[in-house]
């Protein structure tokens, strides 16, 4: 899809960007991508979560791509009977983050832009697609599309994002200690990262 004329300059693919390949240990096209965490609002089976379901998609140019689906529930309304717009942005954050994770990890969202093209009725299914368009150093440039009720359905939203590769210290320094400890990180490791 052509870039919107209002896209932030920091989201435009730089001329020196290269197309990154999937990591050798990442799942192959057609394979499902399991939730990356049991508590994730985007992909885990948690009560108010988006419950996105993923698979690796084929990318004609040999890059990294994912496809995902999300059923729109009554507890996700903004205007009556329609999906809350912020939840489309949250879905894009998860889907674009997931495709970046096929290339390298960990990464975090630095900037995310959503274009809302059509209303999204509750009860319908969003079919999302995302692709890593290029990488320059720590910066990964990603785009996504959401379609209604079929993989080739009408486009309801598009997104562009910049993700940045970070080190594990990003989480050791910033996440709640009790959540890190639940993952097996020792109190000493947390103290050392924060000293």
Ligand X SMILES: CCCCCCCCCC(=O)SCCNC(=O)CCNC(=O)[C@H](O)C(C)(C)COP(=O)(O)OP(=O)(O)OC[C@H]1O[C@@H](n2cnc3c(N)ncnc32)[C@H](O)[C@@H]1OP(=O)(O)O
Can residue 162 be called a binding residue for ligand X (CB under 6 A)? yes
Burial degree of 27 (CB within 10 A; 0-12, 13-18, 19+):
middle
Count residues near ligand X (CB under 6 A): 17
Residue nearest to ligand X (CB): 97
Can residue 97 be called a binding residue for ligand X (CB under 6 A)? yes
Can residue 164 be called a binding residue for ligand X (CB under 6 A)? yes
Can residue 113 be called a binding residue for ligand X (CB under 6 A)? no
Q: Quick one: which of 13, 36, 71, 125 contacts ligand X (CB under 6 A)?
A: 36
Distance from C-alpha of 93 to C-alpha of 51, rounded to nearest angstrom? 13
Distance from C-alpha of 16 to C-alpha of 9, rounded to nearest angstrom? 15
Both tokens of 65, joined, read 């791509």
Q: Quick one: which of 69, 73, 105, 117 contacts ligand X (CB under 6 A)?
A: 105
Helix (H, G, I), strand (E, B) or coil at 113: strand
Please state the closest distance from residue 152 (CB atom) to ligand X, in A.
Answer: 25
Distance from C-alpha of 48 to C-alpha of 39, rounded to nearest angstrom? 11
| Contacting positions for ligand X (CB under 6 A) | 10, 36, 42, 93-94, 97-98, 101, 105, 108-111, 139, 162, 164, 166
């Amino acid at each position: 899809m052509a870039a919107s004329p209002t896209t932030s300059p920091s989201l435009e693919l730089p001329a020196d960007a290269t197309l990154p390949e999937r990591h050798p240990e990442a799942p192959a096209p057609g394979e499902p991508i399991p939730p990356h965490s049991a508590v994730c609002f985007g992909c885990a089976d948690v009560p108010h979560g988006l419950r996105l379901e993923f698979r690796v998609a084929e990318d004609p140019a040999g890059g990294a791509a994912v496809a995902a689906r999300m059923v729109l529930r009554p507890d996700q309304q903004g205007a009556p009977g329609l999906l809350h717009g912020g939840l489309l942005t949250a879905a894009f954050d998860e889907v674009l983050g997931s495709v970046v994770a096929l290339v390298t990890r960990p990464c975090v969202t630095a900037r995310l832009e959503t274009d809302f093209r059509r209303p999204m009725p509750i009860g319908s299914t969003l079919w999302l697609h995302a692709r890593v368009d290029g990488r320059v150093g720590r910066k990964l440039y990603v785009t996504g599309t959401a379609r209604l009720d079929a993989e080739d359905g009408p486009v309801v939203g598009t997104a562009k994002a910049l993700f940045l590769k970070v080190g594990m210290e990003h989480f050791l320094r910033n996440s709640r200690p009790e959540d890190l400890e639940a993952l097996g990180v020792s109190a000493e490791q947390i103290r050392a990262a924060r000293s």
